[in-house]
Structure 1
Amino acid sequence: MSSILVLAAHPRLQLSQVTRRLIDASRSQAGSSVAVRDLYALYPDYLIDVAQEQQALAAARLVVWLHPIRWYSMPPLMKLWVDEVLTLGWAYGRGGQALRGKDLWLVTSTGGGEAAYHPSGYNRYFFDAFLPPYEQTATLCGMRFLPPLVLHGAHRVEPAALDAHAHTYAQRLRQYPDWPELAELSACPGCDVPAGDRPSLSSSHTP
């Protein structure tokens, strides 16, 4: 079983230089500790095999979400994966203990440069302002949200800078869990969901 699961999601991977390069770096890791699942290759019809995805998650200690930022969030298939795979009673809520104690690491890229994510830039906020949905998703599932690895200005990145970024990413995979900063991170806080806030698993009602 793999201790690191890389979930990659890029809707046009053939045109990507950053995500594609990092997928290659993931697959080049020696041994069998890293498993890579390219969601758009696996599910071109968007019909996600929930049982298979949950099995892969259960085997991992570190879950990596590898995708570009699209409209300040994740690509659509990644969002569908979250909606369908992280189910009530399995990932969160009463009885939802399957992911508790695992780590979640966001590895992402943006089209705009770092200066665009500033109060004076056209995105108006620092990049961290767009991360709470990711962090809270991890927290709800009892996972620890690790400091993201972000490459800004992906459309114009120089080859040397991309090489350095891919090297850093691959090195982090090899060194996990021996990252110095992990010792300073607190354990994931409790995030219990009151039973009345979610329908029963047999209910057909939705908000």
Structure 2
Amino acid sequence: MSKTLVILAHPNLEVSRVNRCWQQELLQHPQEITLHELYKEYPDWQIDVAREQQLLEQYDHIILQFPLYWYSYPPLLKKWVDEVFAYGWAYGSTGDRLKGKYFSVAMSIGNHEVNYLPGGSVQFTVEQVLAPFKASLHHVGAIELPHFAFFGASFQATDEQVEQSAVDYVEYIRNGSAVVEQG
């Protein structure tokens, strides 16, 4: 089984029920999963681009984990993508370092799942919300794997549901790693 890199980007992990639970579960599987916490690594927001690029080069399966934040990434993750997916490294005539790598996202979503269905109150599906992420992956030649989402994170989910989601998340990672190995 190939090892997976999870880029965790939560601006306030201490108060998160879901992402903190996922973090604790992921830490139980160091032989399979490397956890890289952006807000912990870069509290000053000064990203070491070369270090991040070198880290990405070591993995074929990469997951961006975050709370859906105003229908997008949290701001440090957006800055990270903007800086790390650099011209000449990730794209352009000599930028091919992410080509063929498998990427996905794991999101906690505060709202009910029904609100992200066609006709729901959000008026957009999760797939539509993820369009910029998918476009970025296409641009750098990476391969998109299906996303993992947990709905009701803000107030509806029980502790048991959150804990089960952490177990399900590890299984999701294992399934994605199997896809990468079959390549």
- Residue 158 of structure 2 corresponds to 158
The 2-side partners of 1:149 and 1:141 are apart by 21
- Give me the CA root mean square deviation: 2.0
Instruction: Give the 3 Å change call, closer, same or farther, for CA 175–114 of structure 1 in structure 2.
Output: closer
CA drift of 1:136 comes to 1.0
CA drift of 1:46 comes to 0.5
- Residue 49 of structure 1 corresponds to 48
- Residue correspondence of structure 1 range 17-96 to structure 2 within 5 A: 17-31=17-31, 33-96=32-95
- Residue 146 of structure 1 corresponds to 145
User: Does the 8 Å contact 1:29/1:174 carry over to 2?
Assistant: no
Which residue identity lines up with residue 168 of structure 1 in the other structure? D
Answer with 86-95 or 158-167: which moved more. 158-167
Which residue identity lines up with residue 115 of structure 2 in the other structure? A
User: Does the 8 Å contact 2:3/2:177 carry over to 1?
Assistant: no
Instruction: Give the 3 Å change call, closer, same or farther, for CA 94–3 of structure 1 in structure 2.
Output: farther
CA drift of 1:174 comes to 3.4
Q: Which has the higher contact order (CA 8 A, sep 6+)?
A: 2
- Residue correspondence of structure 1 range 125-140 to structure 2 within 5 A: 125-140=124-139
Q: Deviations over 1:42-89 (max 9, x none)?
A: 111100010110011000110110001111100000000001100001
- TM-score normalised per structure 2: 0.91
SS at match of 1:70: coil
SS at match of 1:54: helix
- Residue correspondence of structure 1 range 91-110 to structure 2 within 5 A: 91-110=90-109
Which residue identity lines up with residue 95 of structure 1 in the other structure? T
Where does the alignment leave 5 or more consecutive residues of structure 1 unmatched?
188-207
State whether structure 2 residue 28 is matched by structure 1 residue 15. Answer: no
Instruction: Give the 3 Å change call, closer, same or farther, for CA 162–179 of structure 1 in structure 2.
Output: farther
User: Does the 8 Å contact 1:64/1:105 carry over to 2?
Assistant: yes
User: Does the 8 Å contact 1:102/1:143 carry over to 2?
Assistant: yes
SS at match of 2:45: coil
- TM-score normalised per structure 1: 0.81
Number of equivalences: 181
The 2-side partners of 1:141 and 1:22 are apart by 28
- Residue 201 of structure 1 corresponds to none
The 2-side partners of 1:150 and 1:14 are apart by 20
Where does the alignment leave 5 or more consecutive residues of structure 2 unmatched?
none
Instruction: Give the 3 Å change call, closer, same or farther, for CA 85–29 of structure 1 in structure 2.
Output: same
